Chains A and B, each alone.
Chain A
Amino acid sequence: MTFVEYKQLNPFQKFAYNFKKFFLNIPGALGRFFKGIGKAIVKFFVSIGRGFKNYGVTFAKGDWATKLSYLIFGIGDIHKGKIYKGIMFFLAEVLYILYIVFFGWQYISKFGSLGTVETHQVQDGIIKRTVFGDNSMLILLYSVLTIVITIVVFAIYIANIKDAYRHQLMRANGEKPTTLKEDAKDFLDGKYHITLLSFPVLMISIFNILPLIFMILIAFTNYDKAHMPPGTLFTWVGLQNFESLFDIVNTPKKATTFLELTEWTLLWAVIATFSNYILGMIVALMINKKGIKLKSLWRTLFVITIAVPQFVSLLLMNQMLQTNGAINVLLTDISHLFGGTEQVEIQFLNSSTFMARATVVIVNIWVGIPYTILSMSGILMNIPEDLYESARIDGASPFKTFSAITLPYMIFVTTPQLITQFVGNINNFNVIYLLTGGGPSTEQYYQAGKTDILVTWLFTLSMTSQDYGLAAAIGILVFIVCATLSLIIYNNSKSMKDEEAFS
């Protein structure tokens, strides 16, 4: 279809065309995505091969000091007069060896089995004393630490060789190595970004990356209520946790729970995201309309809900929606006004699945749209006025102005925000946990209720039934779903493909 043909279609045909195109594009997008991954993997292995080649070539071409650097860090640098750097390389090696000998080895050596000696008790006089054996959790944790340190030290090792060879070449060319003073100056000038970033990177590695690797590894162990350190050991079980989430034959309950909760999680994420988005947009448009008086008053009124912390509103809502809560009392009073005698006792949260889910969605709209209104108002006020002016001169109707200017502009600006909200809703712990606690309960699920989403189930699994391995596996799956969806949607959005559209 040519551009001219497209322009002649009516809006419905245009929509149908775009709709079709979007879905036809998905296989292609997925294909590109996996092709990209494949390319990256090939590139990675090629670079490793090149690394090995350089490693050998450098050794062949190096002088005695460079060759010795292959065993003792920093010798090459010291020999070429770059004393301070050589000493630092050397110190890194010494520290690493000390670390492994005195600390790392006792854990990393048990990494394969996660410990063999169970905790037991011995009689010591009248008092029985507990002798702690291997602690699988600490073995796993410190092994991860040791592996990360080893990778870093390996990087230092390679850097040490490269540096030694570089200085060898410099000497051959008659150049002198830079002094400590010059290097320090460089760190405040040309390499200032390194100075600034080193601390945050270090902290992220310690507080984010390390625990993340640790948690991911737990998904492949049988760390659960029957295998609790320090009393008992846990060990590797491969993909068993993942299997139990999909194996409808051997573990029907867990598999049903997982599949049905995934369904509800995705449904919830879609409904919650778009209901907030569309309703927030409508309210923002109404407030922003020309001729509306006291605009800032309306805006403030809506935003006031943000002033109360979300979890407080949610807990209050939970109380109000109880069988004897404020809402039922209010409904009873109203029914009495009209001659009713019965007490109204609607079970909002703990009886019917549909009722509970609808209640959650509505309460989420109530706590959520102020944020949408806030950002939408900002965007609406930023749309260039001349666009509307020219539309008016050309005789465009208000609906046409909306569908041709306002809506595309808003979608263009807010696609990334929509993605974050969608992912946020997949992991929207607060609304579900504080409002319903997962209820209404059911015997069809394992440790979950009808409004539980995957993260709240994960929480119950780790906090009450102590199925840490299973919970970690669910966490990984949730991450995979979120990451794939976000990447595909974002890469296909206008905001990504056509950055300049509205500038």
Chain B
Amino acid sequence: MKKILAVLLAGMMAVTAFAGCGGQTTESSGSSSGSGESESTAIEVKDSIVDESVFGDENNISLKVWAPDKAVALVKQQVEDFKAAYPGKTFTKIEVVAQGEGDAGTQLLNDASVAADVFSFASDQLNKLVDAKVIADVAFKDYVTQENAPETITAATIKDTLYAYPETNDNGYYLVYDNTVVNEEQAKTLEGILEACRAAGKKFIFNCGDGFYGCTFAFTGGVKIDGFEEDGVTQKFTDYDEAEAVATLQAFSKLMHDYKGTFTSLDVAQIASGFSTGTLGAGVDGSWNTVADQDALKDKFGAAKLPTINVNGTDKQLISMFGYKYIGVNASSQFPAAAQILALYLSGEKCQEQRAEQLGWGPSNKAVQEKPVVADSPVLQAIKQQSENACVQVNIAATLWSPMGNLGNKLIAEQTNPDDAEFFKKLLKETIENIRDEG
């Protein structure tokens, strides 16, 4: 009777396997359907809307959109406008699902066939998506290039191919301060901020232990990232002057030790709460926390680009990590043309303006950047200025973050002696080795 069991076992296994087989067939037939468009010339686009012929033979369109939680309601409304803009087409269903931009790329890589057709993501994931070839390149390259700020286009271009529609130009951090503690002049230098905070008995928060913020120390010292090596996974660094980099790290470490008790390394979530309890004078916070900080400080709110630091007599601007957010199109979408057209619409001028107004997102669209909603906002101005002093968060190796966080941790650690240049030399060398996975 063991044999019957064996037969059953084999039978059921075979059935399970066949089930998988069936799934795959539908998938491949899905990706082979598509538009009948054949000429590859530039298509005329006006106000992010194209002629309905671009859809080709796609009709009864059904799409899925991923947007971050806070934006879902707005995107839903924008999708309705999109449907209205193309009255000749039938849309069976356009679904908007909440999915954080931080791991949209990972989710897409897990299973591209069930993921969204159109998705928002942060620029650091672009490389992963391009490598896995799950992201389609932009069909309306000329129009998008002409409409958006050049740095957002450069960051999404790999080997002359534009891979995503720029959505925002604000994914970074800047200085937030209590203007009763720190005045506008003091906010320009790190020394000034720390002195003012100490005088008022308040703290300054900079999250050194997190690689996203901690990389500022290396970047300011001239150790900047520069995409990938030929292999496509190893982080490349620009040439740097080791003596200068070490001196900068020492200057940071010295300030941290001189202002021990004032300069604290805590999670950015502590910044808004620190402002509301009145224990905090200033902090380096992400653009996504702006609303919380404003609520905590009300009219005491001050915003500026990151300060400078004095290294051996010269003031050096702090260089930060700065990213953009993009809208991408899934390469295995069943309606590739419709997905491209929707992405074009959602990244267009009108939609960006709505997001700037309602969500406070900094736009990448050149026309929107000139509008009062951006020009009059001190936060968006601070972010824009910082973006000019930043390394772009694109083509980042997954191994970058923890060594950079460690670098920050070591600078502020009590055991570290800021005058020990050899230590910093070794630390910098090992940090870069770890990032590049050498040895």
Interface residues of A (CB under 8 A from B): 85, 88-89, 91-92, 95-96, 98-99, 102-104, 119-121, 123-130, 132, 142, 145, 148-149, 152-153, 155-156, 159-160, 163, 183, 186-187, 191, 194, 198, 201-202, 205-206, 225-226, 228-232, 250-254, 322-324, 342-343, 345, 347, 350-352, 439-444, 446-447, 449, 460, 464-466
Contacts and interface: CB of A to CB of B under 8 A. Distances in A.
B3 A125 contact: no
Given A99-B17, A125-B36, A152 B133 contact: no
Given A85-B4, A128-B136, A230-B132, 9 more contacts: A88-B7, A130-B134, A152-B10, A152-B13, A163-B3, A194-B1, A230-B133, A352-B415, A442-B406
B160 interface: no
Nearest to B32: A129
Given A228-B132, A231-B133, A441 B402 contact: yes
Contact of B340 (A92, A95, A127): A127
A92 B430 contact: no
Contacts of B128: 228
A142 B437 CA distance: 32
Q: 6 closest pairs, A vs B, by CB?
A: A231-B132, A125-B37, A441-B406, A130-B331, A443-B430, A159-B3
A252 B414 contact: no
B36 to A, nearest CB: 7
B378 interface: no
B62 interface: no
A82 B407 CA distance: 75
B398 interface: yes
B304 to A, nearest CB: 24
B406 A128 contact: no
A464 to B, nearest CB: 5
B21 A191 contact: no
Interface string B89-120: 00000000000000000000100100000000
25 contacts: A85-B4, A89-B3, A92-B10, A95-B11, A98-B14, A99-B17, A102-B18, A121-B137, A125-B35, A126-B337, A130-B31, A130-B331, A149-B14, A152-B10, A156-B10, A159-B6, A191-B1, A194-B1, A198-B9, A225-B398, A230-B132, A230-B134, A444-B430, A464-B401, A465-B398
A206 B13 contact: yes
B277 to A, nearest CB: 11
A322 B18 contact: no
Given A89-B7, A183-B1, A102 B439 contact: no
A104 B37 contact: no
A130 B136 contact: yes
Interface stretch (B38-46, B165-173, B191-199, B352-360): B38-46
Contacts of B13: 145, 148-149, 152, 205-206
Contacts of A347: 413-414
Contacts of B16: 206
B204 to A, nearest CB: 13
Contact of B209 (A149, A155, A194, A350): A350
Contacts, number: 204
The residue among B9, B31, B40, B427 with the most chain A CB atoms within 10 A of its own CB is B9
> Which of B1, B8, B43, B337 has its CB near the most chain A CB atoms (within 10 A)?
B1
Contacts of A228: 109, 128, 131-132
B414 A351 contact: yes
Interface string B389-422: 0000000011101110111011001110000000
B235 to A, nearest CB: 11
A147 B40 CA distance: 47
A323 to B, nearest CB: 7
B139 interface: yes
Given A91-B11, A441-B402, A130 B133 contact: yes
A254 B438 CA distance: 9
Given A129-B34, A142-B17, A446-B437, A351 B415 contact: yes
* Highest count of chain B CB atoms <10 Å: which of A95, A126, A449: A126
Contact of B39 (A119, A126, A449, A464): A126
Contact of B7 (A98, A156, A251): A156
Given A130-B331, A253-B433, A160 B3 contact: yes
A187 B2 CA distance: 10
B9 A126 contact: no
Contacts of B232: 226
Given A95-B11, A226-B233, A440-B409, A126 B139 contact: yes
A443 B427 contact: yes
Contacts of A230: 112, 132-134
A339 B349 CA distance: 62
A95 B397 CA distance: 47
Given A126-B40, A443-B427, A446-B434, A152 B6 contact: yes
Contacts of B401: 464
B48 interface: no
Given A226-B231, A443-B430, A95 B9 contact: no
Contacts of B3: 85, 88-89, 156, 159-160, 163
Contacts of B414: 347, 351
A119 B3 CA distance: 43
B132 A125 contact: no
B278 interface: no
Contacts of A323: 264-266
A103 B399 contact: no
A92 B331 CA distance: 40
Contacts of B133: 119-121, 130, 132, 230-231
Contacts of B36: 125
B10 A254 contact: no
B56 interface: yes
Nearest to B209: A350
Nearest to A141: B20
A291 B16 CA distance: 63
Contact of B439 (A142, A251, A442): A251
A225 B10 CA distance: 36
Contacts of A99: 14, 17-18
Nearest to B413: A351
Contacts of A231: 131-134
B9 A91 contact: no
Contact of A447 (B56, B134, B331, B402): B402
A95 B10 CA distance: 9
Contacts of B18: 99, 102-103
Nearest to B41: A126
Contacts of B136: 127-130
Contacts of A226: 231-233
Nearest to B331: A130
Contact of A186 (B1, B2, B17, B410): B1
A127 B406 contact: no
A253 B40 CA distance: 50
B17 A103 contact: yes
A95 B14 contact: yes
Nearest to B37: A125
B55 to A, nearest CB: 11
B413 to A, nearest CB: 6
A205 B5 CA distance: 13
B323 interface: no
A491 B336 CA distance: 63
A469 B232 CA distance: 18
Contacts of A96: 10, 14
B54 interface: yes
B270 interface: yes
